[in-house]
Amino acid sequence: MFHRPASRRRLATAAVALGLLCTLTTSAWAGDRSPGPPAAPRARVTAVTSAAGSATALTGYAIQSSAKVSDSAAAVSSPGYPASGWYPAGSRSTVLAALLANGMYADPFHSTNLQRIPKADFAVPWWYRSDFTVAATSERSYLDFSGVISAADVYVNGRQVAKAADVAGAYTHHELDITSLVRAGTNTVAFRIQPNEPNKKLTMGWIDWLQPPPDQNMGIVRDVLVRRGGPVALRDAHVVTRLDVPSLASADLTVKAKARNETDAAVTATVSGSIGSVSFTKTVPLAAHETRTVTFTPAEFPRLRLTSPKVWWPAGMGGQPLYGLDLTASVAGTASDTAHDDFGIRDVKAPLNSDGARQYSINGRKVLIKGGGWSPDEFLRWDRTYVEDRLKYALDLGLNTIRLEGHIEPDEFFDLADRYGILTLPGWECCDKWEGNVNGSESGDKWTAADYPVAKASMAAEAARLRDHPSVISFLIGSDFAPDATIEKNYLDALKSADWPTPVVAAASDKSSPLSGSSGMKMTGPYDWIPPNYWYAKREGGATGFNSETSAGPDIPTLDTLHRMMSPAELDTLWKNPDAKQYHRSPSPTFGTLKIYNAALAGRYGAPTGLTDYVRKAQLAQYENVRAQYEAYGRNATDSAKPATGVVYWMFNSGWTSLHWQLMDRYLDQGGAYFGAKKANEPLHIQYSYDNRSVVVVNNRHASASGLTARVTLFNTDGTQKYDKAASGMSVGGDGARSTALTVPSSVSGLSTTYLARLILTDAKGKEVSRNVYWLSTRPDTIDWANTDWYYTPTTSYADLKGLDSMGRASVSASASTSSGPGGTSTTTVTVRNTGSGKTPSLLTDVHLVDAKGKPMLPVEWSDNQVTLWPGESTTLTATYRTADLHGSTPRVRVSGWNTAEQTVPAT
């Protein structure tokens, strides 16, 4: 019978937490760092403006271990303290991130360098110290922050202003009134950061994703702000929107903010605001130290009922317009404080369908959630460009959603998601303190009385921060487990108080909570290798319902990346010894080796003959498996019974150099997994069904398509054609609709055990609009459903794809040229042609853009890649990238493939 432990991700209790960091730029992260002495502290004095409503982020810190600081807290936090021998750190930096930026350790992404960093250095508190200047003290001053991991005593100008017991939890938000301590000139703020223990504190942990950093990310990972203002402060400004669905013809906007009198006397404030050309004003009397919620409704201000509003849509469904709210509180005609809030107008619903699965709709239109699980940088370094590159990759892959299990990124992440139209599913993480009360014997301490207010404050802070981002479509208050009644009520109360506008989901697994009820999700795996036909079964992790995290496990990077991340000895072990523990896989004993994956690779494709052959087969296997996962969910989305409603690939990316759970690698290189996903999710797509051999057209566009012709041709591996059939006059609706063109016979005379299926879709003018090539076997993979475990289902016999190894060599020519594009980009256009005179196709022909030294140019967006061409066929591909990333080098194009010789041609 099916059996799954209480958690699908069990960490060995002896797993060690190790890590390190390089510099704060994307390019430097990829390079090596040599050990060196501590750098001299750089001046990091922040000039704070006195403008009412200003919020100035501290520009950085000097940091040092408390074990090396004998001076008192009062001395450390006083202006003029020398901080001799301290390390400079950025404005958002863990301890280890700062040490790595100072060149203290070798490249943490290579080999086992991460393991060599001593954990003992991070078992004591660390000091963070920063100076800021103010020109005058006529305005009030506040210290505003979140993102402290795990807790901190806080000091200003020699005085303690908060204790670690009160500044606890990575997500709690704190505002400290420091007006009485701030002086004209130089001021000092200091944090004594406590060590992080994810199993004991409500912070962040790494579960089984990667080898965790030895400092466990202790530090300050969000901006610390110095706010200035007058007698009345404005806080919590936001807009509650109600869109008329399905007409989308009008939207009601309700504006809310809290006005807080900071003085000992009653005052009358005037709160005025605007959204575009719509303005509104109220007079608000406030008693001494009173806080009052100020509300502007459409009933009072009819212009807040918009006609023909600009509606925000996910990418591919419409535009992403945003509105801006501006508020000012004035006292006696003088501005006291200001607030700004960007928001979008959209409607999100996620009811349970008749099968109990959660079905999302945006603005009245059903959406199949096609997503990936997000990992930040392992050392929580924020780099906007690097994050933006990954989000652009998500769009390139045809994905519409990113799930954040814990590690909820800074505001800029959600700003980018809003801008690009990428839906987000943030929520709390599993397998540590967050679920300690409900996960039985799994990792994570039980809660004490002190944890409940931290959890509720965390929920309140994140709800207030995320609620107006139109990209945020839910909050998952549980992951592997749903919260108990007390914890859930605290979460829901906090969400309600924040005017949370979208569905709250009890868990990412198939759990129910006392108040929210069924999650409508499933977490049935797999997390390790299974064959492509697995995805078509409407059971376990197959294409039915909403699977919140799932994949066939390992995603072996390209050969270029493997050489960057592993030593020669480790690379030998990778393909020679399936039972060997792989440091770059996971600290979990369940996922510590590649045994299941390597056995399948050899069983289906034949034993690898070397590292290059291993990687070559891995890319082919990952392409077919990832493609099948997304194709199965796409095909089943419109089924009348047990439809697929969502799938989240586990994972979208890795925060480290990894051998599993990633559609692209740490350096943003793209292999079989990437292009398999890109193929499956193309806008108008022809695909083959592993379960019933049907050829199906799926239309991911909004508009319907007609006049289509679908053709399927089967070939032996020598290129001999054995079957050919077309269906013309096809039409298919929009928004994920499908149409079945034809079904391939169960038996075709003369077909070799391993064979190829070429699917081509043409439009009414005969233009090819989708091409898809499969490598298949007359001997299918046999799945042992009865022995399914929580992380995979065994395969008792493999499909025979070994015939691919006997394919003849295919001759391929390539020519390339490069031109300048808008916004500092360049585009390289590549024409690839199969010049062979026989019948043999060039299977999975890969094109890589490289520099003069042969190093991949990354990131890059390809129109298509890893293509299969028959003799006489050609295709033209484009690669778009930042010109500056060439660093003056002339681009070249490296062409390789399953059965083609590698060649490199200029792309001038």
Give dist(CA 723, CA 756) in Å, integer. 11
- CA 738 to chain CA centroid, Å, is 28
Active site residue 480: yes
Q: 412: how many CB neighbours lie within 10 A of its CB?
A: 12
Residues in contact with 134: Cβ distance below 8 Å, sequence separation at least 6, in sequence order: 48, 50, 141, 182, 183, 184, 185, 187, 226, 228
Asked whether 232 and 140 are in contact (CB, 8 A), the reply is no
- In whole angstroms, how far apart are CA 530 and each of 1, 173, 540, 555, 601? 18, 43, 12, 13, 11
Task: State the angle between helix axes of 611-636 and 595-605 in degrees (0 to 180), rounded to the nearest 10.
Answer: 90
Q: Please identify which of the residues 549, 669, 800, 885 carries the catalytic annotation.
A: 549
d(CA 348, CA 368): 13
Alpha-carbon distances, residue 369 vs 156, 358, 406, 469, 711 (angstroms): 47, 10, 19, 18, 29
Residue 524 identity: T
d(CA 456, CA 890): 55
Given its phi and psi angles, is residue 170 left (phi above 0), alpha (psi -120 to 50 degrees) or beta? alpha
Give all strands (DSSP E) within 25-150, no chain letters: 45-48, 55-57, 61-65, 87-89, 93-94, 126-134, 140-145, 148-149
Give, as one character, the DSSP assignment of residue 168. Answer: B
Burial-class residue 15 by CB neighbours within 10 Å (0-12, 13-18, 19+): middle
Which one of the listed residues 341, 429, 480, 669 is annotated catalytic? 480
CA distance 810 to 19: 45
Find all residues with CB under 8 Å of 70, minimum gap 6, and list them.
none
Residue 201 carries which side chain, given as an amino acid letter? Answer: K
Q: Are 742 and 725 in contact (CB under 8 A)?
A: yes
In this structure, the strands spanning 545-550 and 644-649 are parallel
The phi, psi pair for 826, rounded to 5°, reads -130, 155
**φ/ψ (deg, to 5) at 393:** -60, -40
Q: Secondary structure of 752-805 in the HEC alphabet?
A: CCEEEEEEEEECCCCCEEEEEEEEEECCCCEECHHHCCCCCCCEEECCCCHHHH
Given the DSSP bridges, would you call strands 423-427 and 401-405 parallel, antiparallel or unpaired? parallel
Tell me the two tokens of residue 832. Answer: 């690839």
Q: Which of 805, 787, 804 is nearest to 795 (CA)?
A: 787
| Count of beta carbons in the 10 Å neighbourhood of residue 688 | 21
Active site residue 107: no
Maximum CA extent, the chain: 94
Write out 723-747 in H/E/C secondary structure. EEEEEEEEEECCCCEEEEEEECCCC
* Helices 411-420, 384-396: inter-axial angle, 10-degree rounding: 30
Give me the helix-helix angle, 451-466 and 485-497, nearest 10°: 40
Q: How far apart are CA 388 and CA 404, in angstroms?
A: 16
- 561 neighbors 672 (Cβ within 8 angstroms): no
Tell the burial category of 366 from Cβ atoms under 10 Å away from its Cβ (0-12, 13-18, 19+).
middle
Active site residues: 480, 549
